[in-house]
């Protein structure tokens, strides 16, 4: 790729999604954009980017940006956050909500494995205790990722990553060489396309936000912006779940780490009050 093509991709990703793209990882840019070029009937990535420059068409621009947001996803990834949610977070929040549903949002859900893991977990919790009430929402920047997620169709490789065989048998059916998730699990999730850097206040309230391994993909200034925006959707006793190696320190006093729980943060109720008084 030519330097000016790389610079264009980097600048588009930063401006539209706050995404951090290394100019040194040419192989990554090429591997992500080659399918876009083929899909849009261009002979090469260079031709695709030339059309982006010449036409400035939003679908082409977002095709490039969304391709670069592709993240790794797996069912029950890292397991610990799901165990903490079932054993600690849900019981604590359910008592505080007094019978109202506990609302959970999977931000940047990619192909949907995280939120469907939560849905399968929720069904298991409800089988053990019929009083369990959960509302699940999921979002992603990529319209194509959301389309795949809503279809609930996964390859053999995808279902082998983290999904226990008992859950595969219980919740999936084999369709040719793919696996389709049951309709009752798919119906448990509300979907929405969301750009995390475009403002979150209008999304409503959630008791728990899963935003794992997302911040590390953003430019530092946008990491801070997203974390501060998340305080607008979380109540004073809400929880933020980041990746185990991610930190909310850039948001200053907005979140407090939960000791002994890497990646788990409590909403700091004093943060909004301080901001409003300023």
Q: Taking the domains of the chain in order of start, what are their residue ranges?
A: 3-68, 80-150+183-277
C-alpha separations of 38 from 33, 47, 140, 143 in Å: 9, 11, 23, 18
Instruction: Fill in the DSSP letter of residue 50.
Output: H
CATH topology of domain 3-68: Chemotaxis Receptor Methyltransferase Cher; domain 1 (1.10.155)
Q: Look over the chain and give the mean of its residue pLDDT values, rounded to a whole number.
A: 93
Let me know: does 81 contact 212? Beta carbons within 8 Å. Answer: yes
Greater confidence (270 vs 62) lies with 62
Q: Whole-angstrom Cα distance, residue 48 to residue 41?
A: 9
Query: 72 is written with which tokens?
Result: 């790794």
pLDDT tens for each residue of 199-229: 999 999 999 999 999 998 999 999 999 999 9
Q: In the predicted model, is pLDDT for residue 266 greater than 80? A: yes
- CATH code of the region 80-150+183-277: 3.40.50.150
Give the per-residue pLDDT at 278.
44
Residues 6+ apart with CB under 8 A from 1: 26, 29, 30, 45, 46
% pLDDT > 70, the chain: 97
pLDDT tens for each residue of 142-159: 999 999 999 999 999 999
Q: Whole-angstrom Cα distance, residue 158 to residue 103?
A: 27
Q: In the predicted model, is pLDDT for residue 273 greater than 80? A: no
Angle at 149 between CA 147 and CA 153, to 5 degrees: 100
Backbone angles phi, psi at 204, to 5 degrees: 100, -165
pLDDT tens for each residue of 32-81: 999 999 999 999 999 999 999 998 999 999 999 999 987 778 999 999 99
Give the per-residue pLDDT at 190.
97
**Taking Cα atoms as reference points, which of 110, 22, 23 lies closest to residue 66?**
110
Q: Whole-angstrom Cα distance, residue 76 to residue 153?
A: 17
What pairing do the DSSP bridges indicate for beta strands 208-210 and 239-241? parallel
Q: In the predicted model, is pLDDT for residue 249 greater than 90? A: no
Give the per-residue pLDDT at 272.
67
Q: In the predicted model, is pLDDT for residue 86 greater than 70? A: yes
pLDDT tens for each residue of 114-126: 999 999 999 999 9
Give the per-residue pLDDT at 274.
47
Span 17-43, mean pLDDT? 94
Give the per-residue pLDDT at 253.
81
Give the per-residue pLDDT at 49.
97
């Amino acid at each position: 790729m030519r330097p000016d093509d790389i610079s264009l991709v980097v600048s588009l990703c930063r401006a539209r999604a706050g995404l951090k793209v290394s100019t040194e990882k040419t192989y990554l840019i090429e591997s992500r954009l080659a399918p876009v070029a083929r899909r849009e009937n261009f002979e090469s990535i260079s031709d695709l980017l030339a059309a982006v420059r010449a036409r400035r068409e939003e679908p082409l621009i977002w095709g490039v940006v969304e391709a670069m947001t592709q993240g790794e996803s797996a069912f029950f990834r890292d397991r610990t956050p799901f165990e903490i949610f079932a054993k600690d977070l849900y019981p604590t929040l359910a008592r505080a909500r007094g019978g109202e549903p506990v609302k959970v949002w999977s931000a940047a859900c990619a192909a949907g494995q995280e939120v469907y893991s939560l849905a399968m977990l929720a069904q298991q919790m409800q089988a053990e205790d019929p009083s369990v009430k959960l509302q699940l929402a999921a979002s992603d920047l990529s319209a194509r990722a959301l389309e795949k997620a809503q279809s609930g169709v996964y390859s053999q490789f995808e279902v082998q990553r983290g999904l226990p065989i008992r859950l595969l048998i219980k919740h999936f059916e084999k369709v040719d060489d793919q696996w389709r998730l049951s309709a009752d699990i798919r119906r448990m999730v509300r979907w929405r396309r969301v750009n995390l850097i475009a403002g979150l206040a209008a999304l409503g309230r959630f008791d728990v936000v899963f935003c794992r391994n997302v911040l590390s993909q953003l430019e530092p200034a946008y990491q801070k912006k997203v974390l501060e925006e998340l305080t607008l959707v979380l109540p004073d006793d809400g929880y933020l779940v980041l990746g185990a190696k991610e930190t909310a320190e850039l948001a200053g006093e907005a979140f407090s780490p939960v000791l002994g729980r890497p990646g788990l943060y409590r909403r700091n109720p004093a943060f909004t009050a301080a901001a409003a008084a300023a």
